[in-house]
Amino acid sequence: MKFKSKNSSDFFTELFKKVDGYINDKGNNRFGDTKTYLKGVCLVATYGLSYILLLGQNLSPLLSILLVIIMGLAAVMIVFNIVHDASHNVLFKNPKLNKAAAYFGDLMGMNSYIWNIRHNIQHHTFTNIAGGDVLLDSIPFIRVSPQQKRFPIHKYQVWYVPVMYMFYSIFWVFFIDLNMFRQKNMGNYKNMKHSRQEWLKLFFFKSFYFFYMIILPAFIVNIPLSTVLTGFLIYHLAAGTLLSLVVVLGHCVEGAEYAAPDENGIIQNSFLQHEWNATYDCNTNSKLLHWITGGLNTHIAHHLFPKLCYRHYYDITKIIKQHCIEHDIRYPHYSLAMAIVSHFNFLNQQANAPDLSLTNLKPLHT
């Protein structure tokens, strides 16, 4: 599977020159800076301090619930603001530091090795493309593309997905990673074999996560198991809601393009044009949303320039907007409220879209 070309438009050539000029003005530093690192330290400290306070058992039930929610939100923000850029090798200039920082994802319950394959290799290369973007098939009960097989239950998805989104993080921790380790094929990767070291890291970090989240508080600190499990559920409801909201609004909205390769495995568009067509920004003027999501609300900048730290995306998005005005090209974006509305309209459309799944396609050549 491959694209027809990397770029076939002066629009992107000129845009890249402008962004190169911006980076040169910033001292050619495409990585994180002191503010980026201090923010990461604060997020990790918030997570750790919340955990320690909860183990102390000296808090009211209401304050305990609040801390559990904060801990869940902090976990996702650690993934957005530290793990995400570290996995793209743009948090630090030193690749070893990026590899080390990516392990914060493993401490949050996800597997950084599978994440690298799912996100960096497959999603960023074949965004919204059937058979390439494995994120499309992460949750089988949700249909977001005509190329996905349609089942009768999908006509109700607009009603049940809010509940499923709340459970997305716990589904990720206990199912997605393990299931993908078992798969031989993952997107464009065929006959995959994972090293013994990666299998060991998978079970070590999953076990450690289960230990510090369940075993230690319930059986060592002696907090009632029912209380621990309730807190664990609330933690993941908060984490899953924030995680899902950010994940779906960049690509699963009205106007975002979904495509499939032809019978020869060729995607009939340039790579950069497809990334533009498949991606939407959300509330890009909000510095708060940018701060929370690690720049993922400026999603077009991220997909066009994944080798730049998220701290640059706010300013790069201004360059993109102005570039669109100069070329009389529509800038794909929604406000946060409209993005949410558009997402549910999108889900309703996909629930009723024709089934173009590969299993239903007849070969064009015999």
Distance set, CA 68 to CA 75, 104, 129 (Å)? 11, 18, 37
Does some domain include residue 205? yes
Does some domain include residue 236? yes
Does some domain include residue 366? no
For 123, the 3-state DSSP assignment is helix
| Other Cβ atoms within 10 Å of 152 Cβ, number | 6
209: containing domain: 2-356
Alpha carbon distance 83, 310 (integer Å): 12
In order, the DSSP letters of 154-178 are GGGHHHHHHHHHHTHHHHIIIIIHH
Does some domain include residue 125? yes
Alpha carbon distance 213, 219 (integer Å): 11
Residue 360, pLDDT score: 46
- Count how many domains the chain has: 1
**269, 277 in Cβ contact below 8 A?**
yes
- Encoded tokens for 152: 């009768």
Residue 139, pLDDT score: 65
User: Could you say which DSSP state residue 150 is in?
Assistant: P
Residue 121, pLDDT score: 86
Does some domain include residue 362? no
Q: What is the pTM of this model?
A: 0.93
Residue 192, pLDDT score: 83
Beta bridge partners of 266: 2
CB-based contacts of 236: which residues, under 8 Å, 6+ apart? Answer: 72, 166, 167, 169, 170, 173
Give me the phi and psi of 332, to 5 degrees please: -75, 105
Alpha carbon distance 236, 227 (integer Å): 14
Give me the phi and psi of 269, to 5 degrees please: -165, 165
Residue 302, pLDDT score: 97
What are the pLDDT tens digits along the chain (366 aa)? 888 888 889 999 999 999 999 999 999 999 999 999 999 999 999 999 999 999 998 889 999 999 999 999 999 999 999 999 999 999 999 999 999 999 999 999 999 999 998 898 889 989 998 777 877 666 678 999 888 888 999 999 999 999 999 999 999 999 989 988 988 877 677 788 899 999 999 999 999 999 999 999 999 999 999 999 999 999 999 999 999 999 899 999 999 998 888 888 888 899 999 999 999 999 999 999 999 999 999 999 999 999 999 999 999 999 999 999 999 999 999 999 999 999 999 999 999 999 887 554 433 332
User: Could you say which DSSP state residue 29 is in?
Assistant: -
In order, the DSSP letters of 195-225 are -HHHHHHHHHHHHHHHIIIIIIIIIIS---H
Does some domain include residue 363? no
Residue 361, pLDDT score: 41
Beta bridge partners of 3: 267
Does some domain include residue 364? no
Does some domain include residue 251? yes
In this structure, are strands 266-270 and 281-282 parallel, antiparallel, or unpaired? unpaired
